[in-house]
Amino acid sequence: MGTCELCGADNVSTHKTSASGARVDACNRCIDRLGLTKPIPSSNRIKSQKTTIQTRITGQNIMLNSDKELAPDFHKRIRKGREAKGWDQREFARRMNERLNIVQRTENGNQPTDALIKKIEKVLDIELFIESAASNSRHTSTAGGRNMTIGDAYNELFSRRE
């Protein structure tokens, strides 16, 4: 019996797990609620990691939808939506049946889970997804109306350095 380092529950059965890259002791409730991986026996470590990754993803992964993506300013949209309803963070967390620290982390820019995104959109009646757009596109042209070649790109790159 120990203390869960995530929720602070005392005298609970804890397991070593990884949360945001840190090794912590967590209770079964936190492991299930946050979608963390259960402790992995050392003999089958690689094989078990592959299966746990597959089992952690439940339902439809809306982040794989190529038409829309999470807005880069999703945290600002959430804060504005919450404030428009006149709720503080504690009231917003209560209405979503989530912990206050989840709301705080989300409003600070930590990307929420797919399920939490859906819940936030429903509770606040806001859109957090926008149309996908290529972020690193660059249009170049060459003289004569022909298509650009790798050699043209190479020449352009080195001509800018001079």
pTM for the whole structure:
0.45
Domain with residue 95: its CATH number is 1.10.260.40
Token pair in block for residue 65: 């939808």
Residue 111's closest CA among 78, 136, 135, 82? 78
The total domain count for the chain is 2
Evaluate whether 120 touches 128 at the Cβ level (below 8 Å). Answer: yes
| Interatomic CA distance for residues 82 and 96, integer angstroms | 12
Does residue 52 share a domain with residue 67?
Answer: no
Does residue 72 share a domain with residue 40?
Answer: no
Question: What's the pLDDT tens digit per position in 74-87?
Answer: 999 999 999 999 99
Question: What's the pLDDT tens digit per position in 75-125?
Answer: 999 999 999 999 999 999 999 999 999 999 999 999 898 889 999 999 999
Total length of the chain: 162
Does residue 82 share a domain with residue 25?
Answer: no
Does residue 70 share a domain with residue 43?
Answer: no
Helix (H, G, I), strand (E, B) or coil at 67: coil
Residue 79's closest CA among 130, 113, 128? 128
In a domain, 152, yes or no: no
Residue 77's closest CA among 134, 114, 125? 125
